[in-house]
Homo-oligomer: A and B are copies of this chain.
Amino acid sequence: MKDVAVVGVGITEFGEKWNSSFREIFLNAGIQALEDAGVKGEDIDEAYIGNMSAGRFIAQEHVSALIADYAGLSEMNVPATRVEAACASGGLALRQGFLSVASGVQDTVVVGGVEKMTDVQSEQSVEILAAASDREWEAFYGATFPGLYALIANRHIHKYGTTRDQIAQVAVKNHYNATMNPKAQFQNKITKEMVKNATKVADPLTLFDSSPITDGAAAVVLVPAEKAHQYTDNPVYITGSGQASDTISIHDRNDITTIESTKAAAQTAYKMANKDQSDIDVAEVHDCFTIAEILAIEDLGFCEKGKGGKMVEEGITELDGKLPINPSGGLKACGHPVGATGIKQAVEITNHLRGEAGERQVEADVGLCHNVGGSGGTATVHILSREEQK
């Protein structure tokens, strides 16, 4: 397996883009990534697209062909593949693109993620997202994702003494980070009181514990590490990639406060990169709900199981802390266009490793991206580094 370099990144503004179509949103990010890399369409060997549910949001399947066509790639008959694992669709696309280049199958691969979620009513989008759970054994009985993550939150509180304030602090931190991210959906500060007193969604979670419904796209261009300097003086390397599954339903797990797919994907990625959790300087993790960020930092090994709330409380995960988590604002404040999120994380980490993250820049040589599908049926972990793996 070769090391793989990210030589171009692109990302749209995240938010409610009622005046832009699905294809326009994607192309905006894709063109940015190609221009950033100095790559032309005719140089692209393959495309992977992460998308959860264009079928249900905009009645469009076969989005890989749609995108290849409107990007001009179908003129060269470039193969384009959509991958899907709910909210981890972007992470899957990144892994397939990584494998394609790392294994020597292709040289220049564009990887994108996109979702257009605001063309349906809010209650419809909750129903559409519920398709990431087990329809027959969760959704049919009324379980929605806020409900499932609320069960997890209550169990975490019960088992580990995690406090409501610690959970709320995740949202406060992520909103603060997003004030410095011009692409973020919510660029406003909030307080713990605002989180706790917001409209209850599923006890103990409120509206401000929840990631929003978002339109947006992100894209990266990948090439073999040895060719990176043909494109950029400032390449970033993907040195580890892991993907794993867990039960789709939380009721089939031994412990609903642990997401085994995150742990397994992280172990694969750490091993491939020859790194461990102590080497990570910055991470973008999957905070679809505040409690999910606490699970993530535990399951990725950044602290002991049960100590995630305390780690947040102590400020370790803040922008100026020892291990900044979600400098972009995370899913909570940057926004969560589900298919795009996994790629947005890679764009954000690349920007930090390049020193191009603007006001929210952190000092980092090694970063991590963590993307989860549903309540953890799928997870991906990628490790990005300023240096090639030795």
Contact = CB atoms under 8 A, between A and B. Distances in A.
A132 to B, nearest CB: 5
A207 B291 CA distance: 53
Contacts of A371: none
Nearest to A1: B105
Given A52-B61, A61-B52, A245-B73, A80 B378 contact: yes
A245 B65 contact: yes
A95 B100 CA distance: 12
Given A69-B252, A135-B60, A377-B65, A77 B21 contact: no
Nearest to A46: B243
Interface stretch (A81-89, A193-201, A231-239, A279-287): A81-89
Interface string A238-252: 000001111111001
Contacts of A60: 131, 135
A387 interface: no
A74 interface: yes
B92 A99 contact: no
A134 B127 CA distance: 24
B69 A247 contact: yes
A375 B55 CA distance: 17
Contacts of A120: none
A264 B131 contact: no
B131 A55 contact: yes
A103 to B, nearest CB: 3
B74 A139 contact: no
Interface in A336-382: 373-374, 377-378
A136 interface: yes
A56 interface: yes
Interface string A59-75: 11110111011000110
A169 B103 CA distance: 45
Nearest to A92: B81
A378 B85 contact: no
Closest 3 CB pairs of A and B: A65-B377, A103-B103, A77-B264
9 contacts: A53-B61, A58-B135, A59-B139, A60-B135, A62-B378, A65-B245, A80-B245, A82-B85, A84-B84
Interface of A: 1, 21, 52-53, 55-56, 58-62, 64-66, 68-69, 73-74, 77-86, 92, 95-96, 99-100, 102-105, 127-128, 130-136, 139, 243-249, 252, 260-261, 264-265, 373-374, 377-378
